[in-house]
Chains A and B, each alone.
Chain A
Amino acid sequence: MIIPGPLFIVGALLAVAVILLLVRRWTGVAAFVATVASSAVVVLLLVVPLDRVLHLPWFDVLLGAPLNVRGRFLVIEPVDVLPMVFMAATSALLSILTWRLMLRSSFFSVAMASLALLFVALMVGQVVFAALLIEMAALLMIFPLHEPVRMRDGTTYGGGVKGGLQYMVYTSLALPGLMIAQLLLAQYEVLPGERGLLQTATLLFVFSFGVLLGAVPFQAWLTTVTEDGSPPVVTFLFTVGLGAVWFLLLDYLESYTWLSEQAAFSTLLTGVGLLMMVFGGTLAAGQRRLGRIVGYATLADNGAMFVALGTRREAGVAVALLLLMARPFALGLMMLGLDGLRRLGRGDDDARRLRGGAWKMPWRALAFMMGGMALAGFPPSLGFAARWGLYRILMSQGTAQALLALLSGVGVMMGLVNAARLLLSRPQGSREIETQADDPLVLAFVVGLVVALTVLGLFPQLLSGVALDVARGFTFYQP
């Protein structure tokens, strides 16, 4: 019996999700199983060609075989392989990093289920199902997003639930646009002369993806989620969740070539992207809450990806993908830092109330700063290499856009420097600040990520080649 690849991968992930729910009490086991499962998907997709039958003891698997679900086909296209690898690898990285941060959490289980749903969204051809699956994955992630944080002494603390509410509202607002666009496309197949249908569909696509990716003026959810959501879950949403949305956007640009052929397409992407970068950089500069700095830095980073796509070049697509690949390392570090500093403030991440925090938890403060610098695009980091590529492309078109993009990074850095100044200052009346003992494993993760980020920053070709390979799979900008 030959099992189609989509059924095997999605079924396995869902089965693991159920197992993880049962073993959530044993956090180490759950983190290990989640990491192994995600890594196995990475290996499977990288090693086994789509057209070769994989012989297993009980059955055979053909990754490239389509799965028929009531007339709708799920299929792993060659262009989807590397995006799926990125999402699974990021999920594996986050599962191991979260091991010591979310005790007895449903995160591991929900992350596996969400990953399965996001994979199906990439595999399914119809926009309507992809939109609904993205919505389902987003809704599932709200459960661990607002889990109370358990301290080592057994006490718990938690933030508000506004982040989850806004995330639910915004992802739901994106749904009608995508579903109605599907109706219009179906009608266009019957009436190919009606160009108005395509224009309306384009507007709906732009609106929906703008909402899903937190484009200005729909950016509120990004910062609200980072403000009161659990840092590891937020990192999952901003890397795997947003990554799936980006890859879906690239898939649609590839499938519906008329989308990128619209006259205003490039101007719109560049304009919205620059607005997001300026908005994110400016607001990050004035922030004192660490969670909000993460949100605005991500907004600016998303803006940079829009600008890169708006350049209408294959190199631009590669830069956008490199920015996305750099994000798990940068946000992973920020997550480790933010988690520790929030625990120090018992849920409060206002830098003014965490004065001296950098002396109490030096490694966590370092992690937050290093991750932030990488997300802002400062050296030595992979984020810098990606932003440098963007600046070079923009410079070839004119200095104004490149300058604005550069200034947005400076804005995020200003926010980080202000936070660092407060975290390093000693609280009034205190002479000595005692350093708090931190989990050695978390410190090992911090060191590992700092090393990885720096090495990849010094040798960006290790990942830029992969980004270029993925970009070549999308041919919508090729002449």
Chain B
Amino acid sequence: MTFVSWLERFSQLVSLPAAWGIFVTGGVIYLITAWRVRFLALIVQYLFVGILFLRVFENRPEMAMMKIIVGWMIAGSLLLSARVRTDALRGKGGLTRRWAANLPFRVVILATVTVVAQLLAQRLVLPYVTDELGLACIMLFLLALLFFGTEEKDASAVGVGVLNLLSALEIFYLAQDPGLLVSGVLMVVNLLVGLVTSYLTVTEVVQ
């Protein structure tokens, strides 16, 4: 058994847990504002996204590797900017929280979204992609909506939402049209979103 076929088999086995793993790590980012925890959650989330990318690019594991590396680079830039932001807030005498504000409300929202995701996954069959990839797309899309809808003042959370939306789109679109050029451009867009998010995170507190 070659390494590539082993990877393929591995990704087939773990793609359902990976889809749920994406959701759980997204939930951690939603509930906890401590930047070290968010960084770790994002790192793990991109690992799960990479596993799903192995299903999308069946014979080109290097594309999944690229996705993971790009994701980790973005996570690194978000970590740095969150650190600058926290230091600046402390310098100004501002409070930094470990848990997100309105925690009970967020827990309820997250539970509701989990139920919605499960129901959607059972009833909505996305064309072009396997069930597990479809479930991951739905999870990522719902997470993105969650971040857009409730985190309008937290630049890094909104940025993670945009990145989730892009990951959902990449899985769905590239499963049908796995071209090298479009994959490359999408990765550049991901990097730009990461940079813009970092910039806005720092700029907000500096201003």
State the A residues within 8 Å of B (CB). 69-70, 72, 128-129, 132-133, 135-136, 139-140, 142-143, 146, 148, 157-162, 164-166, 168-169, 172-173, 175-176, 179-180, 183, 186
In residues 122-165 of chain B, which contact A (Cβ within 8 Å)?
Answer: 128, 148, 152-153, 155, 158-159, 161-162, 165
Known: A128-B177, A129-B182. 16 other contacts (CB 8 A): A132-B185, A135-B189, A146-B203, A161-B207, A162-B152, A164-B200, A165-B152, A168-B158, A172-B162, A172-B166, A172-B193, A173-B148, A175-B169, A176-B165, A180-B173, A183-B177
Task: Check B185 against A129 for contact (C-beta < 8 Å).
Answer: yes
How distant is the Cα of A397 from the Cα of B98 in the complex, in angstroms? 61
> Which of B148, B199, B207 contacts A143, CB < 8 Å?
B199
Task: Name A's interface SS.
Answer: helix
With a CB–CB cut-off of 8 A, which chain A residues contact B186? 132
State the B residues within 8 Å of A (CB). 128, 148, 152-153, 155, 158-159, 161-162, 165-166, 168-169, 172-173, 176-177, 180-182, 185-186, 188-189, 192-193, 196-197, 199-200, 203-204, 206-207
With a CB–CB cut-off of 8 A, which chain B residues contact A165? 152, 155, 158, 200
How distant is the Cα of A470 from the Cα of B135 in the complex, in angstroms? 46
How distant is the Cα of A168 from the Cα of B186 in the complex, in angstroms? 15
Given known A-B contacts A161-B155, A169-B148, A183-B177, A132 and B199 have beta carbons under 8 A apart: no
Task: Check A159 against B207 for contact (C-beta < 8 Å).
Answer: yes
What are 26 contact pairs spanning A and B, CB under 8 A?
A: A69-B181, A70-B180, A128-B182, A135-B189, A139-B189, A139-B193, A142-B199, A142-B200, A143-B199, A146-B200, A146-B203, A146-B207, A148-B206, A158-B207, A160-B207, A161-B207, A166-B152, A168-B158, A168-B162, A172-B162, A172-B193, A173-B148, A175-B169, A176-B168, A183-B173, A183-B177
Task: Check B158 against A169 for contact (C-beta < 8 Å).
Answer: yes
How distant is the Cα of A437 from the Cα of B181 in the complex, in angstroms? 54
> Which of A159, A168, A173 contacts B196, CB < 8 Å?
A168
Task: Check A186 against B177 for contact (C-beta < 8 Å).
Answer: yes
How distant is the Cα of A324 from the Cα of B131 in the complex, in angstroms? 46
How distant is the Cα of A139 from the Cα of B182 in the complex, in angstroms? 18
Task: Name B's interface SS.
Answer: helix
Task: Check B173 against A132 for contact (C-beta < 8 Å).
Answer: no
How distant is the Cα of A55 from the Cα of B90 in the complex, in angstroms? 61
How distant is the Cα of A183 from the Cα of B168 in the complex, in angstroms? 15
With a CB–CB cut-off of 8 A, which chain B residues contact A142? 196, 199-200
**What are the 8 A-B residue pairs with the smallest beta carbon separation, nearest first?**
A158-B207, A139-B192, A161-B200, A161-B204, A172-B162, A132-B185, A70-B181, A142-B196
Task: Check B169 against A179 for contact (C-beta < 8 Å).
Answer: yes
**Which among B155, B200, B206 has the greatest number of chain A C-beta atoms within 10 A?**
B200
How distant is the Cα of A129 from the Cα of B180 in the complex, in angstroms? 12
How distant is the Cα of A128 from the Cα of B158 in the complex, in angstroms? 24
Q: How distant is A212 from chain B, measured CB to nearest CB, in Å?
A: 15
With a CB–CB cut-off of 8 A, which chain A residues contact B204? 160-161
Q: How distant is A151 from chain B, measured CB to nearest CB, in Å?
A: 14
With a CB–CB cut-off of 8 A, which chain A residues contact B181? 69-70, 72, 129
Q: How distant is A22 from chain B, measured CB to nearest CB, in Å?
A: 19
With a CB–CB cut-off of 8 A, which chain A residues contact B192? 136, 139-140
Q: How distant is B126 from chain A, measured CB to nearest CB, in Å?
A: 10
Q: How distant is A459 from chain B, measured CB to nearest CB, in Å?
A: 43
Given known A-B contacts A72-B181, A142-B200, A162-B152, A168 and B173 have beta carbons under 8 A apart: no
Q: How distant is B3 from chain A, measured CB to nearest CB, in Å?
A: 28
